[in-house]
């Protein structure tokens, strides 16, 4: 099949995220690109997927642009409105979340995520949002998917502050910490990464169309494992792009 | 029993140094009028807690009322950072016990259930835990599962002196309905020694009795009821009114610097004698009416 579909890096990341979700799964999401990816999966191959927001919202159908999870626009037409203890407690901590979808300021070679501070934690630093439910989602989801921009300052050997643990220091350190589940994918605007089964170090899985291996590596603060043959990421289909632009995110409310 | 008092009377019952759990979540159902009154009354050294840091905690910190903040991280959503909270953490003037959303919720729940501790999977392997162990050495410990022998992280229960909760509907006794998601509010109330309910609307107890399944806060936990429309402004109250985007933007900009924050406090907190004057200052009835929620959308 020839593919001359035009798409943005945002749309490619959303499509790559959607592809990771299976029908019938329960997905914990924060606002932004993960929401688009999850809606896209629900509209295409995963109609029976359940989407939950930490504050107590399941399967909403928003029709207006929202500024965040605290905006009632993202609660519109939900199937349930409840609480943290219900969502993050009985669903997530109870072991029912298949996929946790995270974003971050910074990630590292072992998939740890920082949303807390930039700078020197013991000296001068700038403090940001912190965890919210992100640490909980990273600790208890069966698998987690991280979506992050591909920039050297965001992809470091070790994050300045572990807000949400990935494979911690690699090897069996995550298991030993008593955490459930595993980091599964890191999706950037240049590539998709998984993790080496032994060392738990980030491993390149595919490179997005139009991007080179050199470009991927030059914009990282560490060197991931690079297998001999790295395929090209499957591009979005015309229908996927149409769904995002016309039905899921017509106002660009989740973009950026 | 009629527990309805003015906001000023309710706030007077809170001594400096108390632990106050507040109901806000980022920019929704925040205890804004309450925070302003606390600042006006000069109450200091509070411990403030909530699952997700919100605009009410940021105003309380900016107004110099807070010594210690227990929270799970937070922001003003897309309007920006919690600048006063973040500045306090960066310059060391605020003691922050930073958690995750669920670890805060579990600590309230353990307090509500009267449990000695609660095990949790969250926080382990993170720097949140390392920092918490430094700032609050008695907040966490490790326990052995008596059935499997596995090691678990245990959290100490929270039992705030008072929970202050914005609700849509309450009766004079304090039986209250929270409409929409409740985030941590139910556990906050049930963990606290007592609760102050701030309601958009007061209804007769007969209304509560007709739909008791909607009651989230039982009156016996409530010490005071305050009837105060638009008391969460500029944050939203689901099915009552939307957030005031222009005013949140104005706050977010002002809060970026200590001088800006002082000017904001002078104008909107110290510059008004009470909530009614505040409402006039932010635009009055005509402006507030434009924020009223659509009956179907809820915002």
Model pLDDT for residues A60-112, shown as the tens digit of each residue: 999 998 899 999 999 999 999 999 999 999 999 999 999 999 988 899 999 99
pLDDT of residue A108: 98
Q: Which long-range contacts (CB under 8 A, 24 or more apart) does A48-53 make?
A: A48/A23, A48/A24, A49/A21, A49/A22, A49/A23, A49/A24, A49/A25, A50/A25, A50/A26, A51/A27, A52/A26, A52/A27, A52/A28, A52/A87, A52/A91, A52/A97, A53/A28, A53/A29, A53/A87
Residue B243 to residue A71, Cβ atoms within 8 A: yes
What is the arithmetic mean of pLDDT over A131-137?
97
What is the nearest CA distance from A137 to chain B, expressed in angstroms? 8
- CA-based nearest distance B246→chain A, Å: 13
Where in the sequence is the domain holding A217, given as residue range(s)? 9-248
pLDDT greater than 70 at residue A1: no
Domains and CATH numbers, chain B: 4-98+159-290 (3.40.1080.10), 116-155 (no CATH)
Domain presence at residue A88:
yes
Q: What is the CATH number of the domain that holds A136?
A: 3.40.1080.10
In a domain, A100, yes or no: yes
Does A3 fall in a domain? Answer: no
Residue numbers of A annotated as active site: 54
A256 domain-assigned: no
Backbone angles phi, psi at A12, to 5 degrees: -65, -40
At B88-121, the pLDDT tens digits run 999 999 999 999 999 999 999 999 999 999 999 9
pLDDT in tens, B35-71: 999 999 999 999 999 999 999 999 999 999 999 999 9
Q: Which of residues 63-92 of B touch A (CB under 8 A)?
A: 71-75, 77-79, 81, 86, 89-90
Mutate one of B32, B125, B187 to test the A interface: name it (highest A CB count within 10 A).
Answer: B125
Establish if A63 belongs to a structural domain. yes
For residue A145, tell me if it sits in a domain: yes
Comparing alpha-carbon positions, the chain B residue that sits nearest to A83 is: B183
Confidence of residue B196 (pLDDT cuts 50, 70, 90): very high
- Which pTM value belongs to this model? 0.97
The pLDDT > 70 percentage for chain B reads 100
Distance between CA atoms of A165 and B150, rounded to whole angstroms? 20
Domains in chain A: how many in total? 1
Q: Quick check: B187 and B157 in contact, CB under 8 A?
A: no
Which of B123, B131, B242 is opposite residue A135, by nearest beta carbon?
B123
Where residue A4 falls among pLDDT bands split at 50, 70, 90?
confident
């Amino acid at each position: 099949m020839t593919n001359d579909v035009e798409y943005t890096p945002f749309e490619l990341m959303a499509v790559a995220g959607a592809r990771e979700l299976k029908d019938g799964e329960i997905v914990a999401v924060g606002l932004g690109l993960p929401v688009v990816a999850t809606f896209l999966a629900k509209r295409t191959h995963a109609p029976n997927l359940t989407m939950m927001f930490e504050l107590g919202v399941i399967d909403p159908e928003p029709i207006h642009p929202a500024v965040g999870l605290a905006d009632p626009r993202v609660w519109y037409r939900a199937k349930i409105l409840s609480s943290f203890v219900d969502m993050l407690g009985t669903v997530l901590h109870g072991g029912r979340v298949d996929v946790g979808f995270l974003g971050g300021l910074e990630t590292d070679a072992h998939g740890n995520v920082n949303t807390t501070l930039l700078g020197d934690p013991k000296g001068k630093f700038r403090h940001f949002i912190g965890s919210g439910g992100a640490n909980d989602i990273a600790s208890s989801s069966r698998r987690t998917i991280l979506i992050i921009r591909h920039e050297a300052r965001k992809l470091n050997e070790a994050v300045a502050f572990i807000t949400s643990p990935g494979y911690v220091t690699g090897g069996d350190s995550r298991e030993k910490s008593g955490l459930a589940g595993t980091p599964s994918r890191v999706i950037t605007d240049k590539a998709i990464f998984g993790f080496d089964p032994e060392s738990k170090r980030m491993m390149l899985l595919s490179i997005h169309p139009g991007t080179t291996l050199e470009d991927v590596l030059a914009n990282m603060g560490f060197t991931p494992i690079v297998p001999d043959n790295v395929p090209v990421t499957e591009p979005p289909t015309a229908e996927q792009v149409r769904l995002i632009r016309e039905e899921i995110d017509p106002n660009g409310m989740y973009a950026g | 029993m009629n527990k309805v008092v003015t906001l000023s009377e309710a706030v007077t019952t809170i001594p400096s140094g108390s632990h106050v759990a507040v109901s806000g979540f980022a920019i929704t159902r925040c205890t804004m009028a309450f925070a302003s009154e606390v600042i006006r009354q000069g109450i200091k050294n509070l411990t403030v807690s909530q699952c997700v840091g919100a605009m009410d905690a940021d105003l309380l910190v900016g107004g110099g009322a807070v010594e210690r903040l227990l929270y799970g991280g937070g922001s003003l959503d897309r309007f920006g950072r919690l600048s006063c909270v973040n500045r306090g953490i960066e310059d060391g003037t605020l003691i922050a016990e930073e958690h995750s959303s669920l670890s805060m919720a579990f600590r309230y729940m353990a307090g509500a259930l009267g449990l000695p501790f609660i095990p949790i999977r969250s926080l382990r392997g993170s720097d949140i835990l390392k920092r918490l162990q430094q700032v609050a050495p008695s907040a966490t410990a490790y326990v052995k599962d008596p059935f499997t022998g596995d090691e678990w992280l245990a959290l100490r229960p929270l039992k705030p002196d008072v929970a202050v909760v914005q609700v849509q509907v309450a009766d004079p006794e304090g039986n209250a309905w929270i409409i929409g998601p409740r985030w941590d509010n139910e556990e906050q109330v049930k963990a606290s020694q007592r609760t102050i309910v701030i309601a958009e609307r007061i209804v007769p107890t007969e209304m509560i009795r007709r739909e008791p399944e909607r009651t989230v806060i039982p009156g016996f936990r409530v010490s005071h009821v305050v009837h105060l429309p638009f008391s969460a402004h500029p944050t939203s109250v689901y099915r009552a009114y939307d957030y005031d985007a222009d005013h949140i933007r104005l706050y977010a900009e002002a809060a970026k610097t200590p001088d800006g924050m002082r000017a904001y406090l002078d104008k909107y907190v110290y510059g008004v004698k009470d909530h009614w004057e505040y409402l006039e200052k932010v635009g009055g009835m005509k402006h507030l009416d434009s924020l009223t929620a659509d009956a179907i959308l809820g915002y």
